[in-house]
Structure 1
Amino acid sequence: MPKLNDVCRYVRSKAAGPFWITVDLFFDGPESFDAHKDKAGLTVDSIAKRLHLRPETVKRIEVPELAVIKFSYPRTHAQGGVFERDMHGGQQFAPLLDIDL
């Protein structure tokens, strides 16, 4: 069974303002996007579980023209706050790389 990291060209996360994080899944192309976009590992519930979030706080956006799926969710702590540990949100994607598809 392939892992997310096997079928995506890039998986990245980034700050989406001071209160949100966005994870981008760039598939290898339209065929890969179409083959994997509806897999159980890429549902809002699955992503929320992996990232220890409440599913109702996670937004899933498909961009078929770019073969991309985006997941956005609120930060646990505001960007730049005293308890915030990843100012740019650049490390938030790591728990998703080994999702089974």
Structure 2
Amino acid sequence: MTTLLDFCSLVRSKNAGPFTLTFDFMCHDQAAYDTLVGTGFLNKDLFARLYGVHPADILLVNHPLALAVKVSLPRPEVQGDLRDADCYAGQQYAPLMDLPIETDRAA
């Protein structure tokens, strides 16, 4: 099974202010970046489904020169709210880690 760690040397989530989560996917090399982007795995529908936000509220940016993909979306709770279970948003990437990636879709 192929997962994000087969492509990325760094996968992280963090705050981008008190209202926004951001995810960074930094690939091992050009081939890994090209294959990961080519699979279409990192897409707005995936993040909408996993994090309960509308796809229109998600920003997904490919950074080919940095061999990285960045995804930002609204936090489910404002940072520091009593219902905020992850104040620094450092654990929000976890649901993505074991998802299988179909590499036969890559161009």
Same fold (TM over 0.5): yes
Alignment of 1:1-101 (within 5 A): 1-101=1-101
Give the aligned length: 101
Per the normalisation by structure 2, the TM-score is 0.86
Report the alpha carbon displacement of residue 67 of structure 1 after superposing the two structures with TM: 0.6
Report the alpha carbon displacement of residue 59 of structure 1 after superposing the two structures with TM: 1.0
Report sequence identity in percent: 34
Report the alpha carbon displacement of residue 40 of structure 1 after superposing the two structures with TM: 3.3
**In structure 2, distance between residues paired with 1:99 and 1:43:** 13
3-state SS of the aligned residue for 1:82? coil
Contact 1:41 1:99 in 2 (8 A): no
For 2:89, give the aligned amino acid. Answer: G
Contact 1:5 1:98 in 2 (8 A): no
Q: Which runs of 4+ in 1 moved over 3 A?
A: none
Report the alpha carbon displacement of residue 5 of structure 1 after superposing the two structures with TM: 2.1
CA RMSD of aligned residues (A): 1.3
**In structure 2, distance between residues paired with 1:51 and 1:76:** 8
**In structure 2, distance between residues paired with 1:27 and 1:49:** 23
**In structure 1, distance between residues paired with 2:71 and 2:98:** 16
**In structure 1, distance between residues paired with 2:34 and 2:88:** 30
Contact 2:53 2:74 in 1 (8 A): no
Contact 1:15 1:89 in 2 (8 A): yes
Any gaps of 5 or more consecutive residues in structure 1?
Answer: none
